[in-house]
Amino acid sequence: MIVGYPFSAVVGHDDLKLALLLNAVSPAIGGVLVRGEKGTAKSTVVRSLAALLPEVAVVAGCRFSCDPAAPDPSCPDGPHESGLSPQTRPARLVELPVGASEDRVAGSLDLERALTEGVKAFEPGLLAAAHRGVLYVDEVNLLHDHLVDLLLDAAAMGVAHVEREGVSVRHAARFLLVGTMNPEEGELRPQLLDRFGLAVEVRASRDPAERAEVVRRRLAFDADPAGYTGAYAGGERDLAQRIAAARERLPAVTLPDDALRGITAVCAAFDVEGMRADLVMARAAVALAAWEGRDEVTPGDVRTAARLALPHRRRRDPFDDPGQGLDEERLEQALSEALSPDDDSGDDGPDDGPNDGPDDDGPGGGGASGGEPADAPPGEGGGTGGRRPESPGAPYRTRLLAPEAVGRGGPAGRRGRTTGESGRAAGARTPDGRLRRLDLPATLAAAAPHQRGRGRTGSGLVLRREDLREALREGRESNLVLFCVDASGSMAARTRMRAVKGAVLSLLLDAYQRRDKVGLVTFRGEEATVALPPTSSVELASGRLARLATGGRTPLAAGLRRAERVLAAERLRDPRRRPLLVVVTDGRHTSGPDPVVTARRLAGVASVVVDCEHGPVRLGLAGRLAAALGGTAIRLEELAADHLAAVVRDVRKVA
């Protein structure tokens, strides 16, 4: 038997443990997102929660964990008779692997029964197994988009709908969703981020004594798991009993009007979107009161609920830090104003006071005091001929830049087209070699007309090799988008570089939404620099872009050579991910060899040249570069999606 680490033995992580316990008391809160650096026991704490959850009463033999007191009328294993004797079992913690298939998550046709009995039967997936339990996704930010869509639907409706392979099934899927992630590996889609009721930032302790205690306990557990767990059995039992008691007390807890007013005032003060934050805060505050053994919510409960429910909902832009905590002073001010609505004696000034302004005017920001930050990468700031970095222009929605060719089996994403094992069903085909993914309905359809001629006498099908059909799926892949940005003096005009940075920032925003990896190469003076190696964290890329200084000569060939080396190294590291090279330049070169020769070596890479040349006379140098690369060229002003839509409208009017 596998022995889990005791929940009560975990050192520190008080907010994480409280968030998990509140969801154990009231699963309606909506789950927990755990963000933190690697090696901080995120998964250990989450897995240890399952042992504390009360047992679940289920209908005997029901694969969908129906509650005997209120069975699901649409349960695929139903209808269930009333008055059945309940069967109890421990609450489940179901893990959803990042690489799971859609069939494994949602469920699919029972192949064994279809082939042996010739009947349609549904095989439940992980969503059914997690019903009335915990669904745990480690590295949730790396989950494929089509699986994220399944989770969003189930989390929103509490019901899973399965329409596939001739099977139409609906079943209940209400679960406590817990996800862990390392922000260094990329952020979470905003739609899924908002579905988590609470979010907690986890960091390793910097206190040597506490770190020593963590190591001491872990070594003791590894040496004797059963004995170590037994030593904490009393504490685990007390926690489980306290959760059960809090669940019983929960319906009796009241939410006074002043506490509700405080909740809504805090949500309005922090300008969160929608009403989900208000509901989550209310549920969390009620659960906290029940956990503490009280029958009424207090201002302290509201304050704690705000710390757990709001940080990840304050994100107004994809490049904002979702892990940034709340402004405690602003939180206290909103609560005090809500709890004392008639007190007009004080005047705290406008909401946009000195503490509420943007952060980029402070040290290291883009304000007038300026200057290069201490950690600016070499070659990005300062130096001879360098100018103070210009802040980027406002981002906008860009047109889709993607490889024209269709890929085969690249990482799931939302940019280039690909065929592989994920995506929408696009038909079936006869396999040209080893069968990779059986399309059962197409296989059965191919075999059905020949059953009499093959002498079938029983209920099973007579199949032959030529009947086999392979599922053909088409989807979107994520790509490596490598930006090669001209930062030379020819690009350094104030308004021009601001527009260029705004364009690259807009492309970064697009890359974030399409789940791409991004890299940034810049060139100016006599050399090119890898400002950011390929990464899934576009927040890092946007920060480096904002600090990018300009000036000096234009070593365009050096920039292309550096991009070539970066792409070659990344091809060895991640061969399935196709690259897209985006060169942002006016095409001029005033230093180094002719860039056309270097560009021809990159002709096999999908590429786009964003032409930044301006003025009444255009030399067309960027277009020549694009031709040498074997790619396409678009003008900077044509990059916006709105511009493309306007062109399409004009063409239709002429037609």
Instruction: Name, in order, each residue with C-beta under 8 angstroms of 409's C-beta and a sequence gap of 6 or more.
Output: 418, 419, 420, 421, 576
**Dihedral, 623, 626, 631, 635 alpha carbons, nearest 10:** -50
**Dihedral, 463, 469, 471, 472 alpha carbons, nearest 10:** -170
Is the distance from CB of 22 to CB of 290 less than 8 angstroms? no
Amino acid letter for position 486: D
In this structure, are strands 122-124 and 107-109 parallel, antiparallel, or unpaired?
antiparallel
SS3 541: helix
Instruction: Name, in order, each residue with C-beta under 8 angstroms of 62's C-beta and a sequence gap of 6 or more.
Output: 71, 75, 77, 78, 80
- Tell me the torsion sign for CA atoms 357, 360, 363, 366: negative
Instruction: List the one residue out of 348, 266, 354 whose CA is nearest residue 314.
Output: 266
Amino acid letter for position 531: A
Is the distance from CB of 303 to CB of 335 less than 8 angstroms? yes
Give me the half-sphere count of Cα atoms (radius 13 Å) on the Cβ side of residue 335: 17
In this structure, what are the phi and psi dihedrals at residue 371, rounded to the nearest 5 degrees?
100, 155
Q: Which two tokens stand for residue 230?
A: 């037994």
Is the distance from CB of 587 to CB of 629 less than 8 angstroms? no
In whole angstroms, give the CA distance from residue 219 to residue 216. 5
Tell me the catalytic residues: 276
Residue keyed to tokens 């991004």: 518
Instruction: List the one residue out of 91, 73, 65, 169 whose CA is nearest residue 123.
Output: 169
Exposed, middle or buried, 55 (CB in 10 Å: 0-12/13-18/19+)? Answer: exposed
DSSP state of 296: B
Exposed, middle or buried, 283 (CB in 10 Å: 0-12/13-18/19+)? Answer: buried
Instruction: List the one residue out of 203, 204, 202, 200 whose CA is nearest residue 312.
Output: 200
Q: Which two tokens stand for residue 135?
A: 């669904």
Instruction: Name, in order, each residue with C-beta under 8 angstroms of 121's C-beta and a sequence gap of 6 or more.
Output: 109, 110, 113, 114
Outline where 31-181 has alpha helix (H): 42-49, 102-106, 111-116, 126-129, 145-157
In whole angstroms, give the CA distance from residue 170 to residue 131. 13
How long a stretch of residues is the chain? 655
Outline where 257-411 has alpha helix (H): 257-269, 276-291, 299-309, 328-339
